[in-house]
Amino acid sequence: MPGFEMIAEEEKKHVNQVLDSTVFMRYGFDGMRNGYWKAKELEQALASRMQVKEVHCVSSGTAALTVALASSGIGAGDEVIMPTFTFVASFESILALGAVPILVDVDDTLTINPTAVEKAITPNTKAIMPVHMCGSMADLDVLKAICAKHSLLLIEDACQAIGGSYKGQPLGSIGDLGCLSFDYVKTITCGEGGAVLTNNKTYYQNAHKYSDHGHDHIGNDRGAEAHPFLGYNYRISELHAAVGCAQIEKLDGFIALQKRNYTILKEKLKAVPGITFRRVPEGGEENFSFLNFYMPTIEKARLAHKALKDGGVDACFYWFDNNWHYYRKWEHLTHKTALGKLPKEVLQQLPDYSKADFSASDAWVGRNISCLIKLSWSAEEMEARATKMATLLATI
């Protein structure tokens, strides 16, 4: 991770095909295309690789989350349960629809805690959104059982986890809908882009219409298409999709490289006293984009992060103090800061997160160090890096 490390002639070939056609939009202009439909090509490749019936590509991972929620009928006043550890896009997509993000604790998987989920369910709850952070999954069987018990939707945010799997199924293919991101620093990149995955024909039909101003895409005359419901513009461009067409073909190779480098690092760190590792649910396999380990205390985690940084080890993150990925720095959500008026449902139903007790999350995220696994590191470079990290961490 990330895929931009491996941009090469394959990506140039696909992009040049679009440039030569001069058609950058995914819809229309049939006669000018020279037969190239890159968004459709990427969707077909993703459907095959992700083992789902339907895929619709959109402009970003955030767009994928928003479209997935809207396509399943989530709207004003509906509550969506999500974890305290994620990227801000998770709650942004919920709020964009006038729905209400309900934050709950994470556990030793660094993903949503099913026990906390069940306690947070109210008559307004419509969906559970597990986020497979840093390449590994939530306890999906337990979450599926909770959803079945309470008639809730399971919407997987697999934006950081493409290539991972749970009991043989690709992450993102297990819930009612799944979402992927192809932004510049994801395992495969389009520069910007995302995808909605589903086996539900209705949700797919809703998704491709909603993400294109409500166009029904029936017939061959775009100007004559009907608008069965309101929509917005979350379209992916042919240029972005073209990059993705090359990258998806490289995914398995990327995962193999990440696994090699991840394994080298983990084997070295196992020998450091006091270090433990995140729990991966039984039957799950990470996409190996990050190695996550725990120090014995929050204080030692901060010292460890500083020691790695001072020692010249880059790409190691301490999410507990991060502005974007952990609830502690989400002041704009806590204070409901927006450019315009927020919907009354959000103002009335959003919990006061300034008073929330997420100490259970703090106990895990506060002790965690997250190490990015780069594709471009050779095995020799990874061995040297791992040895250096182990040496530095042994002094904490």
40, 119, 144, 186: the catalytic one is: 186
3-state secondary structure of 199: coil
The pLDDT assigned to 1 comes to 84
Which percentage of the chain shows pLDDT scores above 90? 100
pLDDT in tens, 174-218: 999 999 999 999 999 999 999 999 999 999 999 999 999 999 999
Residues of the chain where predicted confidence (pLDDT) is lower than 70: none
Q: Which residue carries 């919407």 as its tokens?
A: 155
Structure confidence at residue 58 (pLDDT): 99
Is 186 an annotated catalytic residue? yes
Complete DSSP assignment for 300-367: HHHHHHHHHHHTT--SEE-GGG-TTTBGGG-HHHHTT--SSPPPHHHHHHS--TTS---HHHHHHHTT
Domains in the chain, start-ordered, CATH in brackets?
3-250 (3.40.640.10), 251-393 (3.90.1150.10)
- Express each pLDDT in 355-382 by its tens digit: 999 999 999 999 999 999 999 999 999 9
